Structure 1
Amino acid sequence: MTDPSEFLARFSDTTDKTTQLFAKRLQTATQRFNEHVNEVRKDLFDLQQKTALPSDFFQQWTQYTTDFAQRWILYWDTLRQRGDNFIAHEQAGKPPVLHFDYELIVDARTFDRPANYALLRLLPPAGVTTDPKRRPYIIIDPRAGHGPGIGGFKDDSQAGVAMRDGHPVYFVMFYPKPVPGQTLLDVCAAEKRFVRKVRELHPHSAKPVVIGNCQGGWAAMMLAASDPDSVGPLVINGAPMSYWGGSWSEGEGENPMRYSGGLLGGSWLSSFVADLGDGIFDGANLVLNFEDLNPANTFWDKYYNLFANVDNEPERFLDFERWWGGYSLLNKQEIEWIVQNLFVGNRIWSGSKTDLGGMTFDLRDIKSPIILFASMGDNITPPQQAFNWIADIYHSTDEIKARGHVIIGLVHKSIGHLGIFVSGKVAKKEYTEIVSVLKTIEMLPPGIYGMHIIESKDEDGKPQYDVEFIEHSLEDITDRLNRFKRQDERPFQAVADISEFNQRAYDLFLSPIVKSWSNQYTAMMGRLFHPMRFQRWAISNLNPWLWWLEPAADKVKENRQPVASDQELRKFERGFSDLISASLDYYRDVRDAASEAMFFQTYGSLVSHKPQADVSQQSSDDDLTASERIAKAVSQGGYAEAIARAGYLLSARGKPLPLAQFELKKKLIAKYGHLIPKVTPEQMRIIRGNQEVICRHAPQRALKTLPLLLSTPTDQENFLTLIEAVVDDYSATFGMTEEQSTMLQRIRDVLHVPEQTPELARV
């Protein structure tokens, strides 16, 4: 039984820490706001000193007011066009907003377990040719409130980069309305059939790359875990996988979305909204949550940017709003599964197999390499949520290697959540390099790597990029991303417990009442007048009060009299806009700080009497002793194990690994294929990982027992021939180190080969 005095002491300690944290958050927010205000004040004062004479000022004022009035009309006309586009998109059935033409391959609505998903083949644009024998790409778009298309929204996009490199590209899209009764497990089953269909269409290609964006990321991981033999490398972009992650740190507030579940009492609210929708959850609510994260952009910045640049901004604005305003629906079962198992429960990714509604998921079953792309500027899916799941399911770096798994992390320094998917700059740099990495990713030895993109200039001054990999340990990654060793996640377990209680209470007492109130008509009216939809169709040609707007805008365009952006009054305008934006940012910072303090005060107190525990899931006892068991197998194996062991012993460790090294490795495998062990890439990675663990735990025994793995003269002859040939080719490109040269001679010694003068590089 807990000592009351001890509980009160911990409660008091939690209160003190929460109060101090809130004060620091508030201080930081106030300081940032004051700095912004002072900067604007200085700019406005400087402009005031430079103001022209009264006669010139009157002329500038006349020009400015004319320009302002014209921009005002063009601004509202652009919003009218947005409304018309919204209505037209709704009437067309909300097709995917893809930049590319496409053809339907499979419609999952016809399956025995139907789902509102379909597989499309993207058609390459003019001048681009794809090779059906090259590895196909499958892009899974996020079903997180918006409609499909973000993965191929622009020419410079994930789809565009892959097609320009010659790869066939397929797109997993979804229809606006779910099939009655469908669940996310039905969706997963449909996506498995999509992958198998792509493999049928490309029988001579390598297994397809699967790209998952945001919600599509964890869907791709579920797919790969449930059917690991069908999928190739995975690229997971901005996908929340460990939902409780995000540092509770001093200074600026971080990742406010993770507190929402606790502050709203858990998962019951999503069930309530779905019941109001007659069993349908409106995805516009999810989009509204996204917009609430950044009120300055939602209520002012994006609209002022349109107003200030109304002569050239409408096309970009309307293109983005066409996707942003295409809302999709989910069944009640789907949103409950997501919220209860992922957002609040965080229960799907664990260190053991998880049975959820008849399907079993264990991410450790995934055989293909994984690239995780996240951003430090993403407050929806921070890097902690993108990477912490690795520590939840693996006990150590040795376990990752022993399973033959390759996990690569790529972190952008500043881009926001949407920028990960839609930014043209990200597509030209990060996605282009990811495509180049995917050609040789299966050559990497097992482990966790950081992917670094090094930028330089060519002779013409154009940017060019090189990629290198830096190996990390699991423990290092976890410590670097989590300042408080994930102790800030402990209150989320209390949230999950309370959420489960509230959900049962709602299902038992309130849900029947709410269902009796709602029907198809009330649900339709609720969606029609949802603020995200209302703001669009209300400003459109449906509104008879706006009959004059389009002809007025046409007249303005004929007589446009723009003012230069550096005119003094335009600068005053931007200054006042900056003040409004800074004020909204200050409101957001204070709101988020208060939410964070309230969350930890409430739920931190609920768990403060519990003993300290590591929040990460622990693997089984068998996994905990994996390294010891493998070390005992030092004398077991054959030719493949000997090649893998020599590869590790001869490697240059502790240095960045350039991508060119693995490109050469792929060529050498083709060149010396007759000497390479006849095993699959997945099997070879497992063998390599096991041999690395053996060498790290028993390096001397690993070297001395190497001859035992070469049981026949033919194996020893082939082994030596391959090693010497690879050494020559590698050393010609990458050189050698003294340690590598010494190790090569030691290998020759144990195999009784006369001493030579080698040149060596990493094998």
Structure 2
Amino acid sequence: MSANPRSAVISGGRAITEYTLDALQRSVLFCDVLRQRSQDYYRHKAMTIPHVLGFDLEIILDARNFERPVNFWLARIEPPAGVVIDPFKRPFVVFDPRAGQGPGIGGFKADSELGVAMQAGHTCYFVGFTPDPLPHQTIDDVMRAHGHFLETVIARHAEAEGKPCIIGNCQAGWAVMMLAAVQPELFGPIIIAGTPLSFWAGLKGQNPSRYSGGMVGGSWLTALISDIGGGKFDGGHLVSGFDNLDPANSLWNKYYYLWNNIDTEAPRFLEFEKWWGGHADLSAEEMQWIVDELFIGNRMATAKLVSGDGTRIDLRNIRSPILCFCSEGDNITPPPQALGWICDLYSSDEEIFAADQTIVYAIHESVGHLGIFVSGSVARKQHQEFSSNIDLIDILPPGLYEAVMTPKTDDTVNPQWVEGDWLVRFEPRSLADVAAVVQPNLDDERRFATVKRISDINLGLYRTLLQPLVRAQVKAVAAVTAQANADVTEWLHRLTPAELPYYLFSERNPLMAPLASLAGRVKKARKPVSDDNWLLKQQENYSRSVVAALDGFRDFRDGAIESCFMAFYGSPVTQAMAGLRTADGAPRPQPGQSPEGIVRIEQRLAENSARIGKGGVHEATLRSLLYIAMGGDGIDGRSFNALHEMRAEYSKPYRPIHLKQTVREEFFALKLDQQAALDAIPAMLSVEPQFASKALSVIRRVVSATGKLSAEESRRLAVVEGLFAS
């Protein structure tokens, strides 16, 4: 009887000893990984052009040498071994976000955006930037440089079948959209991934980051930080802001996971941290413009922005298809902020047609903000299908669509016309569908409009009363150091939450000097704890309690911030003091049509009216296919691939760019006067009667590429067959 308790005590003592040794070893190795992270960080900063791209590259242009220099560069990406590039396919150009981190997330891994595009045979280019902006560079300077980059890519691929496909990640997405609104002729399809375009949008209780500007009284703090930084805004502050959104992950989970899996997790941790910690600054002029005009002003989605040369930046001027990829799991750019601009710009579906715009959106159910760019396993299907179907996206008729993807199976009809592992359909949607996601709220609009007005007042007061003193003090301190303001700025940077851990764990800290040697000895003597040790369960329970506490703190903090924001900025007194009157209606009314826009629409209508009866068998075939497709529930990739394969059977060869133009012309003919457009088909066929029967055969095979037709599609096919027989 007495042996069992003693045995239990001995067993428990062994478990404690085993766990204690393991925990100590893990802690030493954990600290050594943080030391390696710091060393990687400083090596990365010392690079001539720091980046984390997983591919070799060739620098094509360095905008630091431009007439109006900026810290951006254009590179051609070298395809990996075994990847075959088709020189006639349109090139892809990836623009990376400039939101605190350095460039490279769009080509971080083999299955990221660049890797997937190259696997599909496209030449790829990448637009990156150096950590330090040029003095006083502006958003207009950056736009000008980006435009020159795209002109260079187009000139290098004059024989390609279409203009470049542009991918804009996060903040690079709105920069791409601004340029496309001013120089639409430079763009093929535009993919904006995790891009905020409607900065006031969001759902109560879910998107607290949108309140940040209001809670600090506006953009005066941005000006103060830039002044303290000697004319630069430290990117580490932006990274800290992202970390604060999820303190359980930034303060505990990612470090606990590393410590708990120290024998296997270090390479992945170091790889990601190399990008996350590679901070890049912005000029004071850039950051102030971004905060005033976009984050707080929210002026892009209502065509109120004006470029430096006086050009109005109206997203309705974009002529290329726009594909918005966002995710429910993204706490930085939630779907309302990614899609709200559509509701801001347009009041009806007819306005989208009249503007000749094609807008496609895809909402992932779970992937996080960074996963959208990296194209991890949860988001790889979207990047694969966007790349594989980019030519179909480019010729989609004007309108609003949702990209719906289903897995390719053994039961899939006509699998030979499915590129990749997923079947993609572009299903028509309405503004009401987008509004159900965005949930526009007029009361919130008034609150954020009040923030903007108070921000302007506070910024004006800061610039008048405090800015001269702050700048003078910074210069005085810099003079004492006798090294301009470089030392002051550097030390202030080291003390930021985003920078301090790197300095503390680097070998610049004398306490870290013996760590590498100690870690080497620990690895040789490593004794992992057994899986059945009862203390591991206690460890997991403790970790869950820490996460629960941090999540509880986050929820309380976010709830308190939201309540304060809603109460203060929703007060009629606060709004009245800011000069906002309830009788004024919506604080951001939808923009009316510009005179040039009205002229363009009228000209387009007149051209399409005159063109209804023109064309031959090629135009008649596309008109017939569009007529049948308009009776269905979407456009399937198989139909396009089937048509592309059969095009030589009924007409002379054509380039995709001509196909896009013809599709749009035939779509507008059907929209303008459907009956007249159908009645003209027999006369169009008579121009090339020898192809008529082959064209009808192609039509039947193309519409059946997706399987059984709906009743309405069958009826429309019968109408077309009658027209071809007459």
Q: TM-score normalized by structure 2? A: 0.88
Look up the equivalent residue of 1:303 and give its one-letter code.
Y
State the partner residue of 1:757.
none
State the partner residue of 1:22.
none
Look up the equivalent residue of 1:472 and give its one-letter code.
R
Distance 1:214 1:382 in 2: 11
| Deviation for aligned residue 1:564 | 3.3
1:469 to 415, 426, 430: 426
| Deviation for aligned residue 1:94 | 5.5
Secondary structure of 2:470's counterpart equals helix
Look up the equivalent residue of 2:240 and give its one-letter code.
L
Distance 2:365 2:714 in 1: 39
State the partner residue of 1:289.
241
Q: 1:356 to 1:642 in 2, by over 3 A?
A: farther
Deviations 1:702-742 (CA, angstroms, capped at 9, x unpaired): 31564468777844858955752432332553454554444
Distance 1:571 1:55 in 2: 19
1:587 to 548, 553, 568: 553
State the partner residue of 1:48.
none
For the Cα contact (< 8 Å) 1:238–1:381, is it kept in 2?
A: yes
Look up the equivalent residue of 1:693 and give its one-letter code.
K
Distance 1:588 1:404 in 2: 44
State the partner residue of 1:145.
100
| Deviation for aligned residue 1:370 | 1.4
**Greater CA drift, 421-430 or 728-737:** 728-737
Deviations 1:153-204 (CA, angstroms, capped at 9, x unpaired): 1112111111122211111010111111211111111111111111122221
| Deviation for aligned residue 1:752 | 9.4
The answer on 1:222 being equivalent to 2:178 is: yes
Q: 1:731 to 1:523 in 2, by over 3 A?
A: closer
For the Cα contact (< 8 Å) 1:94–1:175, is it kept in 2?
A: yes
The answer on 1:617 being equivalent to 2:590 is: yes
State the partner residue of 1:128.
83
| Deviation for aligned residue 1:72 | 0.8
Distance 1:383 1:94 in 2: 33
Look up the equivalent residue of 2:169 and give its one-letter code.
N
| Deviation for aligned residue 1:149 | 0.7
Q: 1:111 to 1:506 in 2, by over 3 A?
A: same
State the partner residue of 1:558.
524
Distance 1:147 1:740 in 2: 51
Q: 1:681 to 1:109 in 2, by over 3 A?
A: farther
Secondary structure of 1:471's counterpart equals strand
Matches within 5 A, 1:510-521: 510-519=466-475, 520-521=485-486
Q: Relative contact order (C-alpha < 8 Å, sep 6+): which is higher?
A: 1
The answer on 1:384 being equivalent to 2:341 is: no
The answer on 1:597 being equivalent to 2:563 is: yes
For the Cα contact (< 8 Å) 2:391–2:656, is it kept in 1?
A: no
| Deviation for aligned residue 1:144 | 0.6
Distance 1:165 1:678 in 2: 17
State the partner residue of 1:212.
168
| Deviation for aligned residue 1:443 | 3.2
| Deviation for aligned residue 1:426 | 3.8
The answer on 1:332 being equivalent to 2:284 is: yes
| Deviation for aligned residue 1:73 | 0.6
State the partner residue of 1:491.
447
The answer on 1:110 being equivalent to 2:72 is: no
Secondary structure of 1:650's counterpart equals helix
**Percent of pairs identical after alignment?**
39
For the Cα contact (< 8 Å) 1:635–1:709, is it kept in 2?
A: no
| Deviation for aligned residue 1:390 | 1.3
Look up the equivalent residue of 1:162 and give its one-letter code.
A
**Greater CA drift, 305-314 or 488-497:** 488-497
Distance 2:208 2:694 in 1: 55
Distance 1:134 1:587 in 2: 51
The answer on 1:434 being equivalent to 2:386 is: yes
Matches within 5 A, 1:33-44: none
State the partner residue of 1:69.
24
State the partner residue of 2:74.
119
**Greater CA drift, 739-748 or 219-228:** 739-748
Look up the equivalent residue of 2:50 and give its one-letter code.
P
Look up the equivalent residue of 1:126 and give its one-letter code.
A
Deviations 1:96-124 (CA, angstroms, capped at 9, x unpaired): 11111111111111111111100011112
Deviations 1:244-283 (CA, angstroms, capped at 9, x unpaired): 01023xxxx2111100011111111111100111111111
Unaligned 5+ runs, structure 2: 1-5, 412-419, 476-484
Distance 1:587 1:82 in 2: 28
1:730 to 694, 699, 702: 702
The answer on 1:419 being equivalent to 2:376 is: no
Q: 1:115 to 1:718 in 2, by over 3 A?
A: farther
Deviations 1:262-316 (CA, angstroms, capped at 9, x unpaired): 1111111111100111111111111111111111111111111111011011111
Look up the equivalent residue of 1:384 and give its one-letter code.
P
Secondary structure of 2:128's counterpart equals strand
Q: 1:355 to 1:628 in 2, by over 3 A?
A: closer
State the partner residue of 2:478.
none
1:194 to 130, 137, 149: 149
State the partner residue of 1:279.
231
Distance 1:359 1:575 in 2: 59
Deviations 1:58-102 (CA, angstroms, capped at 9, x unpaired): 111111111011001101111111111112222224611111111
Deviations 1:359-406 (CA, angstroms, capped at 9, x unpaired): 442211211111110011111101011011112222321222233322
State the partner residue of 2:356.
404
Distance 1:515 1:95 in 2: 30
Look up the equivalent residue of 2:137 and give its one-letter code.
Q
| Deviation for aligned residue 1:654 | 4.4
The two structures, once aligned, show a CA RMSD in angstroms of: 3.0
State the partner residue of 1:307.
259
**Greater CA drift, 327-336 or 516-525:** 516-525
Distance 1:484 1:184 in 2: 29
Distance 1:136 1:502 in 2: 46
Q: 1:678 to 1:185 in 2, by over 3 A?
A: closer
For the Cα contact (< 8 Å) 1:392–1:617, is it kept in 2?
A: yes
Distance 1:204 1:621 in 2: 35
Q: 1:315 to 1:465 in 2, by over 3 A?
A: same
For the Cα contact (< 8 Å) 1:401–1:686, is it kept in 2?
A: no
Q: 1:496 to 1:78 in 2, by over 3 A?
A: same
State the partner residue of 2:629.
651
Q: 1:170 to 1:553 in 2, by over 3 A?
A: same
Distance 1:668 1:491 in 2: 56
The answer on 1:672 being equivalent to 2:650 is: yes
State the partner residue of 2:203.
247
For the Cα contact (< 8 Å) 2:649–2:694, is it kept in 1?
A: no
Distance 1:748 1:716 in 2: 17
How many equivalent pairs are there? 689
For the Cα contact (< 8 Å) 2:181–2:315, is it kept in 1?
A: yes
Q: 1:626 to 1:643 in 2, by over 3 A?
A: farther
The answer on 1:349 being equivalent to 2:301 is: yes
Q: 1:299 to 1:635 in 2, by over 3 A?
A: closer
1:368 to 317, 320, 328: 320
Look up the equivalent residue of 2:374 and give its one-letter code.
V
For the Cα contact (< 8 Å) 2:443–2:570, is it kept in 1?
A: no
The answer on 1:694 being equivalent to 2:672 is: yes
Look up the equivalent residue of 1:511 and give its one-letter code.
Q
For the Cα contact (< 8 Å) 1:75–1:307, is it kept in 2?
A: yes
2:33 to 61, 73, 78: 78
Unaligned 5+ runs, structure 1: 1-50, 696-701, 755-763
Q: 1:571 to 1:731 in 2, by over 3 A?
A: same
State the partner residue of 1:15.
none
| Deviation for aligned residue 1:210 | 0.7
Distance 1:367 1:408 in 2: 13
For the Cα contact (< 8 Å) 2:405–2:423, is it kept in 1?
A: yes
Distance 1:554 1:728 in 2: 70
Distance 1:191 1:314 in 2: 37
State the partner residue of 2:111.
156
**Greater CA drift, 645-654 or 415-424:** 645-654
Distance 2:602 2:314 in 1: 23
1:443 to 391, 395, 402: 395
